[in-house]
Amino acid sequence: MVKIFKNDSGRLKIIKEKPFNLEKDMQKLIENNIEEIFNLQLIRGTTKGGEFELKGLRIDSLCFDPDSKSFVIIEFKKDRNFSVIDQGFTYLSLLLNNKADFILEFGASKKDEIEWSQSRVIFIAPSFTEYQKQSINFRDLPFELWEITSLENNNISLDQIKSSASSESINKIMPINSEITEIQKEIKVYQESDHLAKPSEKIKELYEELKTQLLNMGPKVEISPQKKYIAFKAQTNFVDLELQKDAIKCHLNMKKGNLDDPKKIARDVSNIGHYGNGEYEVIINSSDEIPYFLSLIKQSHNKNS
């Protein structure tokens, strides 16, 4: 159990929980702050056009992730009597079997931007059972659990339930059916190992050295492997690494004109199609380049923390 205190002139005063009255209160709060919390764009929800209904199913909040270029479904729960696995696969099946409806909702002109393989479902609730928490401990489940707590003085706590670093597949414990098989053919949860098959041994070592430095930038830095690159996040992505055979292509999440780069090693890609976020690209292939490159990354880290 996490206890949250207020520091009142050196005296700690516990901040008590003040539960949400309704599930809709929780939903409206998250939707109104969806970009700040998750860096997502709200497409449909209770605060924008009403909840999205299709084929007899209702989606609380339909969102789009501009980083992974994918749809994100958010479901809010006040009670704890539901199956994460069953509901998660039901929503993904609805999404993948009705792509045209989702494209129409998002905007037909944006259909080429969508990366279906990165679709995921987020569940938000005041608490989850131990069974629900354990149910996401598999490498191939695109589900996230977030516990939300409403506290005194309008304070809110959000805590993601992290899955274990398990390499097991959900297929090990769950009977395979046609619906799950079709979903798994299209949706993939990427791991670091997926990106380490292509580079040479030299680049693998360079990546490990750089990764150590990036993780030391702050306690909240996380690694988030995507389809085309490995993202390093604070509040949002601050650098995306694309591992190539003989080099690492790096994209700094900075707008053109905002990077202090005396050596002029960063390339302006603001008008060039590229994977990763931001408008600056740097290519490194030697450990000697890391110290200066870190001075550039720190600027992006500070901006995106």
Q: Where are the domains of the chain?
A: 5-186, 192-303
- Give the global pTM: 0.86
CATH number for region 192-303: 3.90.1150
pLDDT at residue number 183: 85
Spatial distance between the Cα atoms of 161 and 19, rounded to a whole number of angstroms: 19
The answer to whether the beta carbons of residues 5 and 11 sit under 8 Å apart is no
CA distances from 271 to 255, 279, 281 (A): 12, 8, 12
Which residues, 6 or more positions from 68, have their beta carbon under 8 angstroms from its beta carbon?
A: 115, 118, 226, 227
**Greatest C-alpha distance within the chain:** 61
Burial of 108 (0-12, 13-18, 19+ CB in 10 A): exposed
Paired strand residues for 178: none
pLDDT at residue number 173: 58
Name the residue type at position 203.
I
pLDDT at residue number 1: 63
pLDDT at residue number 248: 96
pLDDT at residue number 184: 82
Per-residue pLDDT of the chain (305 residues; tens, 9 = 90+): 677 888 988 999 888 888 898 899 999 999 999 999 998 999 999 999 999 999 999 999 999 998 889 999 999 998 888 889 889 999 999 999 999 999 999 987 777 789 999 999 999 999 999 989 988 888 788 999 999 999 988 889 999 998 776 557 766 656 556 677 788 889 998 999 999 999 999 999 999 999 999 999 988 899 999 999 999 998 889 999 999 999 999 999 999 999 999 999 999 998 888 888 899 999 999 999 999 999 999 999 998 87
Task: Give the pLDDT confidence of 106-135 residue by residue, as tens digits.
Answer: 987 777 789 999 999 999 999 999 989 988
pLDDT at residue number 171: 65
DSSP 283: E
Spatial distance between the Cα atoms of 264 and 282, rounded to a whole number of angstroms: 10
pLDDT at residue number 141: 87
> What fold does the segment set 5-186 form as a domain?
Trna Endonuclease; Chain: A, domain 1 (3.40.1350)
